[in-house]
């Protein structure tokens, strides 16, 4: 088994790529690559957010919403569900409460 196949894909991310019958809507390799991209971005944003002074940039909610707005923009390369997942993951890493996010499948379904 290659190292690539040993990457754990959390259910919260897999849910972004499952249909009503719980089948993946994209090839597993593509889902795995998108997960790695999203998780890496959340880790990088964690470092970025920690280096920011919350007092200079508004509340934690406002900062998370700004990150989400950037990720949800069409030119970002992320779909709305991935954008919401990245920001929710970031809030977990930071230990911050996450605001309701547009495009969040958990919120809409």
Whole-number Å distance between alpha carbons of 49 and 60: 9
**Residue matched to tokens 């090839």:** 27
What value does the mean pLDDT take over residues 73-94? 96
Residue 73, domain extent: 9-108
Model pTM?
0.86
80, two tokens = 């709305």
Is residue 2 scored above 60 in pLDDT? no
pLDDT at residue 1, as a whole number: 40
* Residue 21 domain-assigned (yes or no): yes
Q: Rounded to 5, what percent of the chain is helix, strand, coil?
A: 70, 0, 30
Number of structural domains (the chain) is 1
Instruction: Report yes or no on 2 lying in a domain.
Output: no
Residue 13 lies in a domain: yes
In a domain, 1, yes or no: no
Q: How far apart are CA 84 and CA 1, in angstroms?
A: 32
Cβ-contact 87, 78 below 8 angstroms: no
């Amino acid at each position: 088994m290659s190292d690539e196949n040993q990457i754990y894909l959390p259910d919260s991310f897999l849910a972004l790529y499952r249909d009503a019958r719980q089948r993946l809507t994209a090839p597993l390799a593509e889902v795995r690559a998108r997960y790695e991209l999203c998780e890496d971005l959340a880790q990088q944003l964690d470092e970025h957010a920690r280096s920011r002074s919350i007092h200079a940039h508004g509340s934690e909610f406002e900062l998370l919403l700004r990150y989400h707005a950037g990720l949800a923009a069409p030119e970002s390369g992320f779909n709305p569900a991935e954008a919401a997942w990245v920001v929710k993951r970031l809030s977990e890493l930071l230990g911050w409460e996450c605001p309701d996010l547009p495009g969040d499948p958990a919120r809409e379904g």
